[in-house]
Amino acid sequence: MEVSYLLSEIEVVAHELLEKSKSKTILFYGEMGAGKTALIKALLKSLGAEDIGSSPTFSLVNVYDTPNGTVNHFDFYRIKDESEAWDIGFEEYLDSGAWNFIEWPQKIENFIEEEHQKVEILVQENEIRKLKLC
């Protein structure tokens, strides 16, 4: 799946991403400001989450209960070492069967497995984003 979209179309893209993802663990790649958190908020909304907060930059993980199961939203931007992910029990989250949305997965490379779904978000001109599902 590869799609270009306006930020105003993000909910449609989120719905399609959920339908096409081959895994409940989705890794979000993109530069700062690319729209990773905005897309994750749209995914949470699509899954029926009522309390859609902000990125878990300071707590590393926010957990949401939805009618479609638990969603764990990770933001590893600020970690300095993979051991910080280990310390919060990251592997247990991955093994829980819940949805796992992970921002800055490149910071935890040793935890990344082939079957995890990768999403790349590229910034284009005039509020247009390009999403590649890999």
Q: What is the 3-state secondary structure of 104-126? A: CHHHHHHHCCCCCEEEEEEECCC
Read off the amino acid at residue 103: E
Q: Which residues on neighbouring strands pair with residue 4, listed in sequence order?
A: 130
Virtual torsion, Cα 94, 99, 102, 106, nearest 10 deg:
50
Fold of the domain built from segment(s) 2-133: Rossmann fold (3.40.50)
| pTM for this prediction | 0.93
CA distance linking residue 119 with residue 27, whole number of Å: 6
Q: Which pLDDT tens digits describe the chain residue by residue (134 residues)?
A: 999 999 899 999 999 999 999 999 999 999 999 999 999 999 999 999 987 766 666 679 999 999 999 999 999 999 999 999 999 999 999 999 999 999 999 999 988 888 999 999 999 988 899 999 99
Helix-strand-coil split of the chain, %, nearest 5? 30, 30, 40
According to DSSP, the β-strands at 61-66 and 25-29 are unpaired
